[in-house]
Amino acid sequence: MTITPTAPATSEIDLFSDETLGVNDDAVFAQLRELAPVVYLPKNDAYAITRYDDVRDALANTDVFSSSGVAFNPQMNEVLKGTSLAADPPEHGKLRAVLTDNLSPRALRPLRTVINDKADEMVRDLFSRETFDGMADLAVAFPVSIVLDLIGVQGDLREKILPWGEAAFNLLGPMNQRAQDSFPTAGELFTWTHEEMRGVDLAEGSIGRAIWEAAERGEISHESFGYIVHQILAAGMDTTITTIGNCLVLLGENPEQYAKLREDPTLASSAMAEVIRLRTPAPVFGRKALADVEVAGTLIPAGSQVALCYGSANMDPRKFDDPETFDVTRNPVDHLGFGYGVHGCAGQGLAKLEIQALLLAMTQHVESFAIGEVAARLNNFTRPYASIEVTDIVLAQG
Ligand code: HEM
């Protein structure tokens, strides 16, 4: 029996409006997910895929769901040509290989001690104060210093990294005001990675220098070198920053969960996965449908912009029991917060090293803490806090 696909449900929700981005819980996604597995959004001219199994199936089907539509505006999809993020197989494999070679567990091994020591030092310093800003002082400062070491940057670019990463993610959304305002800053990052930075200026032994040497040997083009450093800075920063902020808030607001983590620090990996599931840092990525395709009985026509709602999939009760509950023992290894399939996050090894090092340092030095005032920072693609007041700190004895 052939099934005739039905027309999609529609919703007036704009995935990139201030109201949607300001919501740090599941309300908007829950509305879409319970409306239908595929919802057409006229305001974004996009078909949102909302449920876990359908999002994962779409990610596995790169013949139809093309990353040439990873961003929600044509200018940015054009700019991203030549990156693994926006490429489809078979080109994708070659572009990604250099990136994964340099971000593999083996390549990252030398960084492990540096990351652990830095995490320990920062956690001790910050939590010995009466209060601190969990975003500026920790969630931003920690990964910025790691990524500068990783690339081997010798000058001081500390102040630039956050605005660069933020602008790059704003531009993945539609050309709303936030994206338009981000052009000059994103352009600065592009000029730095593609013109101003030269691999020979990067520190000996750094991963940035190794990628430059691969370009010098002709294994990749010099243009690819620029793109790779660009992706580490653009894709790697705001996502990691958002996740560290979310770890602080969820653990600070759920002291019984923090106590469980302290009791058994081997839960650090499970706790991190659970934070990413519950507060997916980059909850929507785009794709372009290359052919008419049926998803859960609904037709998505060829040429359509598709919105893969990772944040919605991660809260789908069809997949995760009691999805609203934060449970550090859940260990949701198959969450979609890092994507899935060929485009699954190339930097997740690094993100895990950094975030788990922070969690372990906290369990060692901090008995408990609370969260005071928080403020949101609106970004088209990531869901970060602007500030997090960490208070009522009790240090661990001994
Ligand atoms: C907790 C932190 C992070 C999260 C939640 C995250 C999330 C994601 C997601 C969802 C994707 C898939 C995009 C898609 O489906 O089109 C992705 C891809 C990617 N990520 Fe991450 N990311 C994180 C950290 C990093 C870091 C630290 C780096 C670099 C050092 C990085 C580099 C990349 C790259 C290069 C891609 C593109 C891979 C490809 O298309 O082949 N990410 N990330």
Q: For ligand 1, what atom is nearest to the CA of residue 143? A: 27
279-301 mean pLDDT: 97
CA distance 367 to 396: 5
Please tell me the predicted confidence (pLDDT) of residue 341.
97
Three-state DSSP at 269 gives: helix
Average pLDDT score over residue span 25-34: 93
d(CA 99, CA 193): 15
Would the pLDDT of 134 be above 70? yes
| Mean pLDDT score of the chain | 93
From the CA of 350, how far away is ligand 1's center (Å)? 10
Q: φ, ψ for residue 190 (rounded to 5)?
A: -60, -45
Predicted confidence band of residue 190 (pLDDT cuts 50, 70, 90):
confident
Confidence of residue 317 (pLDDT cuts 50, 70, 90): very high
What is the chain's Cα-based Rg?
21
272 lines ligand 1 (CB under 6 A): no
Check pLDDT > 70 for residue 4.
no
What phi, psi does 204 have (nearest 5°)? -55, 135
- Residue 391 is predicted with a pLDDT of 98
> Which ligand 1 atom sits closest to the C-alpha of 344?
12
Q: Widest CA span of the chain, in angstroms?
A: 70
Structure tokens at 337: 């917060």
pLDDT at res. 24 = 65
Check if 99 has its Cβ closer than 6 Å to any atom of ligand 1. yes
pLDDT of residue 357: 98
CA distance 153 to 189: 14
Q: Whose CA is nearest to atom 9 of ligand 1?
A: 338
Query: Is ligand 1 within 6 A of the CB of residue 345?
Result: yes
Q: Where are the beta strands (DSSP E) in 119-165?
A: 132-133
Note the pLDDT of residue 107: 80
Between CA 295 and CA 78 the distance in angstroms is 27
Instruction: Indicate if ligand 1 lies below 6 Å from the C-beta of 281.
Output: yes
- The rounded Å distance from CA 251 to ligand 1 centre is 24
Q: Which residue's CA is the nearest one to ligand 1's atom 2?
A: 240
Is 230 touching ligand 1 by the criterion CB < 6 Å? Answer: no
**pLDDT, mean of residues 83-101:** 89
Q: How far, in Å, from the CA of 236 to the mean position of ligand 1?
A: 6
Distance 348 CA to ligand 1 centre (A): 7
Please give the backbone phi and psi of residue 20, each rounded to the nearest 5 degrees, phi first: -70, -45
Q: Which two tokens stand for residue 259?
A: 């106590």
- For residue 88, the enclosing domain spans 9-395
Q: What is the pLDDT of residue 1?
A: 43
198 CA → ligand 1 middle, Å: 24
% of the chain residues with pLDDT over 70: 98
Of the two residues 189 and 359, the one the predictor is more confident about is 359
Q: Where are any strands of DSSP class E within the chain?
A: 9-10, 38-41, 46-49, 65-66, 132-133, 284-289, 293-295, 298-300, 305-309, 366-376, 385-395
Mutate to test the pocket of ligand 1, among 345, 353, 355 (most ligand atoms within 8 A of CB): 345
Any domain includes 230: yes
The per-residue pLDDT for 3 is 52
- Sheet with 305-309, strands from edge to edge, namely 9-10, 38-41, 46-49, 305-309, 284-289, 65-66
Q: 348 lies in a domain?
A: yes
| Dist CA 142 CA 279 (whole Å) | 20
Task: Return d(Cα 353, Cα 331) in angstroms, integer.
Answer: 17
Residue 134 CA, ligand 1 centroid: distance in Å = 23
Contact between 366 and 393 under an 8 Å Cβ cutoff? The reply is: yes
CA distance 66 to 77: 11
Classify residue 100: in a domain, yes or no: yes
Measured between its terminal Cα atoms, the distance across the chain in Å is 70
Q: How far is the CA of 31 from the centre of ligand 1 (A)?
A: 27
Torsion from C-alpha of 82, 84, 315, 353, nearest 10 degrees: -130
Distance 78 CA to ligand 1 centre (A): 19
Question: Is residue 33 in contact with ligand 1, taking CB distance under 6 Å?
Answer: no
**Banded pLDDT at 176 (limits 50, 70, 90):** very high
Candidates 62, 68, 63, 34; CA nearest to 48 is 34
Grade residue 25 by pLDDT with cuts at 50, 70 and 90.
Answer: confident
CATH number of the domain that residue 183 is part of: 1.10.630.10
Tokens of residue 314, six digits? 């991660």
Strand pairing report for 46-49 and 305-309: parallel
- Cβ(339) – ligand 1 distance below 6 Å: yes
Residue 2 lies in a domain: no
**Is 223 part of any domain?**
yes
Instruction: State residue 293's pLDDT score.
Output: 97
Q: How far apart (Å, rounded) are the C-alpha atoms in residues 105 and 289?
A: 34
In a domain, 213, yes or no: yes
Q: Is 4 inside a domain boundary?
A: no
CA 252 – ligand 1 centroid, Å = 26
- Our answer on whether the CB atom of 87 is closer than 6 Å to any ligand 1 atom is no
Domain count, the chain: 1
pLDDT for the residue numbered 157: 80
45 φ/ψ sector (left φ>0, alpha ψ -120 to 50, else beta): left
Cβ 231 under 6 angstroms from ligand 1? yes
Q: Is residue 222 part of a domain?
A: yes
Query: Would you say the CB of residue 350 lies under 6 angstroms from ligand 1?
Result: yes
